[in-house]
Structure 1
Amino acid sequence: MTRMQKYVAAAAVAAALAGVPSVSYAVSQGKTAHGTTIEQSTPFRAKAKAAAAAHAVARKAPTARVVASGEHVTAAPGFELWLTADGKHWTTPGDPEPQFRSVVDGNIDLGTPGVSRQSESTGGRYTLSGLYYGGKGTASRVEIETGAGTVHGKLLTLAGKPGWGVWYATTAAPAKNDGFDFIGAVTVYDTRGKVYAQLK
């Protein structure tokens, strides 16, 4: 073998050895030996898509209306609600004297999910309201089961993270009172569509 042939053979071996790490690197980056990309498994893709969809829904979901302390909100003619740091206040057409439900008197546990309920019947309609508190996530909407079907209410809360808020709704009173409880379960859902708190 001539000196020139030895140099060419040595260069070919060096080039072959130099190529080994690059082949190993390509395979470690998710490539097959033939250069095809290895696809992610179907269950992994499905979970990733579901998580992205849930995140998108949560971003678009409504949240409770933030009100200033003492700001009056008209739930129905003659029925007003307002929140302060110590609880829920309201008046009704039949009783203009303010009523009050405390969140600081120790009667409710703000660390445990819960819902309270009051109902007033005036002029052939029910005005419903109550507290919601203690749930995980961000409260988004409220549904009230009634003898006439599901009623969708509204949510109020104070700025910051007080850990509680107020829900309210109105619905037509039943034409005939047959003795059964017209107002049923009250469920507050979070922005991901899960139950935030419930009264059955």
Structure 2
Amino acid sequence: MPHSPDDFTAYAHASLPQLVTTAHLLTGNPGDRREATELVRRTLVRVSARWHRIPRADVDFYVRRFLVKEYLRGARGRSHRPKAQRAVLVLLHWEGLREAEIAQLLGWSAGAVKSRARRGLALCGGDEERLRGAFAEAAAGVVPSSVPLDAVEQRGRALRRRRRGVVAAACGLLLVPGVVFGADRFMNGGSPDGSEGGEAAVAQGPIRIVAPGERVDAVPGVQVWLTTDGKHWSTPEAPNQFLGLTDASDEDTYRNKYQDTYQYGSGKKVSAESGKPTVSVQPDPLNNTSYFLSGLYRGLSADPARVEVTVEDHRITGTVLTLAGSPGWGVWYARTPVTPQELKSSSVDGGPTVTVYDAAGKAVARGGAAE
């Protein structure tokens, strides 16, 4: 349940001492209030801008995420490594989070968190109890600074309005498929079938690491979210849909559901337990004129670098959602609405076809068409 706007001020007042203390520990200079206070101010602006979308039970999770992301923002190379190590140590030995929780919080793998925790602790002498004591001593000397919450909320509202303007502009483009498809052809070197450059030329696609249950607005009216047992999504036509990781195949479901406009692929079935990487395609009607495409990939040894879906002669780069820790599965979706005519025409050749590429540009999974 989202908070009301009035709840933000109450939450900010209550959490400010802890936020300021953690910010001081992150910046490593408890004697200088300005850096930590500015870090808290920027964090609260981001929280305020998203307040209406943050679930009531997960406020602390998102605030910690924004705080550390702001702390790491702009750091590169060697500077980023010490700051990342310090962030892990503060979250682990001051905030009391587990390594798995930190990985989920920051969108890192569990191995990356463990490595940074080990190296950071070694630099601090290797004694966890001594480090906790040092954090406690430093925290005791922190005098919470005042943060102008009225100015924070004003800045948050401005940021929210600007983001809505960007989303509205993007939605306007989505309603003109020719513009989006044309841009896609341009970005793929002008070749509708993507033949120019070959698999080695595959670029990185949009990949987003999310927390379990974190809802993502894929296109207007469609939300997608992940839990540890699979994919969830809601559309105007069918709310609260679910596809589990252990489901053997969803081909029959979608062939029967949309057989008047769409014939799903080749009819082959690949069990989720077969060990072979697989990827599915689910078309969902948005209205009488467009469909939303999404799917679930699984069985990969690492997160994909790019997912592409082909509808007739159009190649669209999908957005990937995955949980922290490179679980080998995730969800893709295509932002471009597909018309029933395009979907039906595509089905003649066994499409839409979705292809998953690894970082080297190699196709590691393909679904939705005869191979």
TM interval, short-chain normalised: 0.5 to 0.7
- Residue 87 in structure 1 maps to residue 230 in structure 2: yes
Contact preservation (8 Å) 1:137, 1:191: no
- Displacement of 1:62: 4.7
Structure 1 residues 140-151: aligned runs within 5 Å: 140-151=305-316
Moved beyond 3 Å, runs of 4+: 60-63, 104-107, 174-180
Contact 1:110–1:163 (Cα < 8 Å) also in 2: no
Show CA shifts across 1:74-130 (max 9, x none). 11111111000000001111123x111011356513732100111012232221011
Query: Quick check: 2:302–2:328 contact (8 Å CA) kept in 1?
Result: no
Instruction: Summarize the Cα distance change of 1:121–1:148 in structure 2 as closer, same or farther, 3 Å threshold.
Output: farther
Partner Cα distance (2:303, 2:363) in 1: 10
- Paired residue type of 1:131: L
Q: 1:198 to 1:180 in 2, by over 3 A?
A: closer
Q: Is the strand fraction higher in 1 or 2?
A: 1
Alpha-carbon contact 1:142-1:154 (below 8 Å) kept: yes
2:243 corresponds to 1:101: yes
Contact residue 297 and residue 329 of structure 2 kept, 8 A = yes
Distance (Å, rounded) in 1 between the aligned partners of 2:356 and 2:308: 7
**Are the equivalent residues in 2 in contact too, given 1:69–1:82 (CA < 8 A)?**
yes
- The answer as to whether partners of 1:66 and 1:159 remain within 8 angstroms in 2 is yes
CA deviation after TM superposition for structure 1 residue 139, in Å? 0.3
Q: List per-residue Cα deviations over 1:144-176 (Å, max 9, x = no partner).
A: 111251121110100012120000013331557
Alignment partner for residue 181 of structure 1, among 344, 347, 354?
347
Relative to structure 1, the CA distance from residue 143 to residue 174 in structure 2 (aligned partners, 3 Å threshold; closer, same or farther) is same
* Pair 1:192-2:356 in alignment: no
| Residues 114, 133 of structure 1: 8 Å contact kept | yes
Could you say which structure has the greater relative contact order, defined with CA pairs below 8 angstroms and 6 or more residues apart?
A: 1
The CA distance in 1 between the partners of 2:290 and 2:328, in whole Å, is: 30
Query: What runs of 5+ residues in structure 2 fail to find an aligned partner?
Result: 1-200, 249-270
Residues 1:69 and 1:110: Cα distance change in structure 2 (over 3 Å)? farther
CA deviations 1:8-65 (Å, max 9, x no partner) are xxxxxxxxxxxxxxxxxxxxxxxxxxxxxxxxxxxxxxxxxxxxxxxxx99x845631
How many Å separate the matches in 1 of 2:274 and 2:230? 12
Structure 1 residues 139 and 63, CA gap change in structure 2 (3 angstroms): farther
**What is the alpha-carbon distance in structure 1 between the residues aligned to residue 342 and residue 327 of structure 2?**
40
Q: For the residues of structure 2 that align with 1:127 and 1:135, how far apart are their CA atoms?
A: 24
1:114 to 271, 278, 300: 278
Q: Distance in 1 between matches of 2:302 and 2:343?
A: 38
| Match of residue 184 from structure 2 | none
Q: Which runs of 5+ in 1 are unaligned?
A: 1-56
Cα distance in 1 between the residues matched to 2:309 and 2:206:
17
Of the structure 1 ranges 131-140 and 148-157, higher mean CA displacement relative to structure 2 is found in 131-140
The code of the aligned residue for 1:171 comes to P
Matched residue, 2:219: 76
Identity of aligned residues (%): 44
Counterpart of 1:154? 319
Q: Which amino acid aligns with 2:212?
A: S
Structure 2 Cα separation of the partners of residues 66 and 84 of structure 1? 12
If the length of structure 2 is used for normalisation, what is the TM-score?
0.35
CA distance in 1, matches of 2:206, 2:342: 35
| Contact 1:110–1:133 (CA under 8 A) maintained in structure 2 | no
**TM-aligned CA distance change 1:146 to 1:160, over 3 Å:** same
Following superposition, the deviation at residue 179 of structure 1 comes to 6.0
- Report the equivalent of 2:14: none
Higher radius of gyration, 1 or 2? 1
Q: In 2, distance between residues paired with 1:176 and 1:85?
A: 34
Give 1:140 deviation, angstroms.
1.1
* TM-score where L is the length of structure 1: 0.62
